[in-house]
Amino acid sequence: MEPKPTRSQDPLALAFFGAALVLLAALLLYVFFFRSPEPAPAKGTADVVEGLRRKITELAKESTAKRPAAPAPEPAAPQAAGSRSAAPPAAPVAGATLEAGRSWRYAVVVEPPIWRDITLTYRTRREGAGIGVLTDFVHAGGKSNFHLGVFSPGHATHANTRFPGFFMYAAYLKQPLKPGDPVGFGWQWQGKSPRSTKRFAGTVTTTATVLVPAGTYLAAVVEGTWTYTEDGQVRARAHEKFWYAPEVSQIVRIERLGITPDESSQRIVAELADYR
């Protein structure tokens, strides 16, 4: 005897029937555990499903409304304009400052010895908002006095200043001086062209203790070259080495080697002999 053929089930119908059972179970849970429904006229299956969807949507909204709000993030600390978050801005640097009423006297030797027993004395005084420098140049054959200029970097009075102008170098030295720091400054010289300039370019090579007639000082040692230019052409060069001592806010020793358009001496050495 042949077996009877098994009736095939429609997958779509099964899926719909399963979904209906799930929705019906959810409706029963809501009715028995949340609140009793208000009496209403009988509804068809489609109305029951639609009502159940609306109830679920309302429950979801109520749950979201009761949920505590997430705390707002704390505001970031205010940052100054132009500052960087990686590191604070670097502190400004400035040249040395001088007090009014001070004096520095140097013993000077030149080669060849066209002058003997040379001294250069610099005296500071208040000039408006700045510090002016007066200079006494004394040697065995006579003396002269002149106004060297105003102790301020780039001041117009530094133009046409010859070797005695080394007293102004300290106005251009950025403090504190450290080995490896570049040093540069310059001004005009007495050339044939108004575009005649001279410029020093050097480096802080080390710090050292130096003995001069005025005493012993800890100083930053700077070495470099003066370059004289006129109409775009280099006319001369001179090597210079000087020792700057913060204790007296000035150079305590300086050596220049080389003949230049504004100095005919092959070698010039000046050492601090007195400071008060």
Q: What is the DSSP string of 153-187?
A: TT-GGGTT--GGGGGGGGGGPPSSP-TT-EEEEEE
Q: Largest alpha-carbon pair distance within the chain? A: 153
Amino acid 33: pLDDT: 45
Amino acid 189: pLDDT: 85
Question: What secondary structure letter does DSSP report for 263?
Answer: B
Could you tell me the pTM of the whole model? Answer: 0.66
Please give the sequence-ordered ranges of beta strands (E in DSSP) within the chain, or none if there are none: 103-111, 118-127, 130-139, 142-150, 182-188, 197-212, 215-230, 233-245, 250-257, 267-275
Question: What secondary structure letter does DSSP report for 105?
Answer: E
Domains of the chain: 12-63 (no CATH), 103-275 (2.40.360)
Amino acid 195: pLDDT: 79
pLDDT per residue as tens, the chain (276 positions): 444 444 445 555 445 455 555 555 555 555 444 444 444 444 454 554 466 556 545 654 554 455 555 444 444 444 333 333 333 333 334 578 899 999 999 999 999 999 999 999 999 999 999 999 999 999 999 999 999 999 999 999 998 889 999 999 999 999 999 999 999 999 988 767 777 899 999 999 999 999 999 999 999 999 999 999 998 899 999 999 999 999 999 999 999 999 998 999 999 999 999 999
Residues of 167-199 as b/e, b for ≥16 C-beta within 10 angstroms?
bbbbbbbbeebeeebebebbbbbebeeeebbbe
